Structure formats: structure tokens, C-alpha cells
Amino acid sequence: MAKQKAPRRPLDSYTVNHINRTIKAGDCVLMRPSDPSKPSYVARIERIESDSRGSNVKVHVRWYYRPEESIGGRRPFHGSKEVFLSDHHDIQSADTIESMCTVHSFKSYTKLDAVGNDDFFCRFEYNSSNGSFNPDRVAVYCKCEMPYNPDDLMVQCEACTDWFHPTCIDLTVEEAQRLDHFFCGSCSAESQKNMQNSLTSSRVPSDEKVDTKRRRR
Ligand SMILES: [Zn+2]
Ligand SMILES: [Zn+2]
């Protein structure tokens, strides 16, 4: 005969005594991994429940995967604090919560003045059964056509507004940091061409367009 399961009680919030913080649905937390040599698990709390006496508190979580936990593994454009919101749900004891953390959007992460231990960012949802990502395409930058890794310094071309890795434009990071203005290779070639064109047209004084330009100056 099946044993009657004790009714569970939903909780709006719960104070995790060993970290002295109150958690609620929607919060992100770090949880102790079963293998202590692994980094802490990152999870989003979906709901909290206890037994009928208010003890044995369990949290329903949705895991964030780190890039190395994904089927495709870590790629060069993945940031050190990048996590993917997975479709993998679980129920864990509230005892395994180590601390609170923040999973930022990509945009707000890139605007942080300082990245703390408990700051992460997420720009992809991850399907843990087939290893696919949503969105499956992201903007790419630079000559190497890579998505942006927020850990890497990039310089922006003032003309085309594309971003470039110093190494891809034969600069060291220090040289790139010292740049006041930057025009990428194809834009400086383009402006050379435009300069030559305007020199040619200014040699024709009857050209109305050139005249207009002159008067505006
Ligand atoms: Zn590049
Ligand atoms: Zn450019």
C-alpha cells in the first residue's frame, strides 16, 4: 500500500538562517554542488515549500548552466561570469543554499562598474536535452566575426561603429587603451578615397554642389 505523502505547504519567502538572508521566488542563489571540487551551482528559485510543520524546506529551482556544463562546452566568446538559463528544473533542500547572487541581463552586466563574486550574466536560454540555445544567433563583431565577450577589451570604429579586438587590428591591449580616435582599416581606406574624390570635384569650380558646400563653411 502506498504511504500517504505528507501535504507540502507553499511559502512566500523563507529566511535561510545560515546565511541570514530571506529568499523568495525569482531570487538567484548559489547552491552547494554534490562534488565539492566543482564551482557552486547557480539557480533561480521558482517556488518554496515546507512540510506541514513548516520545516524541511525545499526550493524548486531552475538551473543556470555554466558554459563548461553545456553540450557544446565553453567557447571563446563566453564570458567568465556567463550562465545559460536552462530548462532543467529540480527540487533542492534549502540547506544547500550558499549565498544569494545576481544574474544580470547582458546589457546591464556590461554597464557594471565592478563585477563582484556574486555577479553573473545571462544572454541565452539553453535546452539541456539537445544543447541548443535561444536565441540561436547573436550579433557578431570585428574581422573575426565573434559574438561579444564582455571580458575582452574592444575598440569601436568611429565611422562604421563596429567593434574590434586589439589583436585583430595588430594592437596590444595597452595601445588600444591609449587610442583617442579609431577608424578601422576599411573605413580609413574609404575616407582616403572620399578625400581624393572631393579634391577632384573641387577642381571643377562650376559644380553647384561644391559651391553650396563652400558657402556653408
Ligand atoms: Zn576579432
Ligand atoms: Zn570602420
For the stretch 116-130, pLDDT in tens is 999 999 999 999 999
Q: Classify residue 145: in a domain, yes or no.
A: no
Q: How far is the CA of 83 from the centre of ligand 2 (A)?
A: 31
Q: Are 61 and 101 in contact (CB under 8 A)?
A: no
| Whether residue 16 is found in the same domain as residue 123 | yes
| Whether residue 157 is found in the same domain as residue 125 | no
Q: How far is the CA of 10 from the centre of ligand 2 (A)?
A: 56
| Whether residue 114 is found in the same domain as residue 198 | no
Paired with 39 in beta bridges are none
| Whether residue 129 is found in the same domain as residue 173 | no
Q: How far is the CA of 169 from the centre of ligand 1 (A)?
A: 8
Confidence category of residue 189, pLDDT binned at 50, 70, 90: confident
Q: Could you say which ligand is closest to the alpha carbon of residue 184?
A: 2
Domain containing residue 180: CATH number: 3.30.40.10
Cα dist from 182 to 31, 157, 179, whole Å: 44, 5, 7
| Whether residue 112 is found in the same domain as residue 73 | yes
Q: How far is the CA of 152 from the centre of ligand 2 (A)?
A: 19
Q: How far is the CA of 180 from the centre of ligand 2 (A)?
A: 15
- Per residue in 143-185, pLDDT (tens digit) is 999 999 999 999 999 999 999 999 999 999 999 999 999 999 9
| Whether residue 109 is found in the same domain as residue 39 | yes
Q: Classify residue 48: in a domain, yes or no.
A: yes
2: its cell numbers: 502506498
Q: How far is the CA of 193 from the centre of ligand 2 (A)?
A: 14
Q: How far is the CA of 184 from the centre of ligand 2 (A)?
A: 4
Q: Could you say which ligand is closest to the alpha carbon of residue 182?
A: 2
Q: Classify residue 4: in a domain, yes or no.
A: no
Domain tally, the chain: 2
**Helix (H, G, I), strand (E, B), or coil: what is residue 188?**
helix
**Among 78, 83, 81, 86, which residue's Cα sits nearest to residue 66?**
83
Q: Could you say which ligand is closest to the alpha carbon of residue 153?
A: 1
In degrees, rounded to 5, the angle at the alpha carbon of residue 78 between the alpha carbons of residues 75 and 79 is 145
CA atoms of 100 and 103, how far apart (whole Å) = 10
- Picking from 138, 164, 196, the residue at the C-terminal end of a domain is 138
What whole-number percentage of the chain has pLDDT above 90? 78
Containing structural domain, residue 101: 9-138
**Among 34, 37, 21, 35, which residue's Cα sits nearest to residue 102?**
21
Phi-psi region of 6 (alpha: psi -120 to 50; beta: other; left: phi over 0): beta
How is residue 146 annotated by DSSP? B
| Whether residue 88 is found in the same domain as residue 23 | yes
Q: In this structure, which residues have their CB less than 5 angstroms from ion ligand 2?
A: 157, 159-160, 184, 187
Paired with 120 in beta bridges are 103
Helices of type H across 114-184:
173-178
Q: Could you say which ligand is closest to the alpha carbon of residue 170?
A: 1
Q: Classify residue 124: in a domain, yes or no.
A: yes
pLDDT at 210: 36
- Per residue in 96-121, pLDDT (tens digit) is 999 999 999 999 999 999 999 999 99
Q: How far is the CA of 164 from the centre of ligand 2 (A)?
A: 9
Q: Classify residue 148: in a domain, yes or no.
A: no
- Picking from 90, 110, 138, the residue at the C-terminal end of a domain is 138
Domain containing residue 102: CATH number: 2.30.30.490
| Whether residue 109 is found in the same domain as residue 191 | no
- Per residue in 31-60, pLDDT (tens digit) is 999 899 999 999 999 999 999 988 899 999
Q: Could you say which ligand is closest to the alpha carbon of residue 191?
A: 2
**Among 167, 159, 148, 152, which residue's Cα sits nearest to residue 184?**
159
| Whether residue 123 is found in the same domain as residue 84 | yes
| Whether residue 15 is found in the same domain as residue 122 | yes
Q: How far is the CA of 140 from the centre of ligand 1 (A)?
A: 10
Mean pLDDT rounded to a whole number for the chain = 88
Q: Could you say which ligand is closest to the alpha carbon of residue 165?
A: 1
Q: Are 65 and 86 in contact (CB under 8 A)?
A: yes
Whether residue 70 has pLDDT greater than 80: yes
Q: Please spell the DSSP secondary structure of 161-172, one letter per residue.
A: --EE-GGGGT--
| Whether residue 178 is found in the same domain as residue 216 | yes
| Whether residue 90 is found in the same domain as residue 166 | no
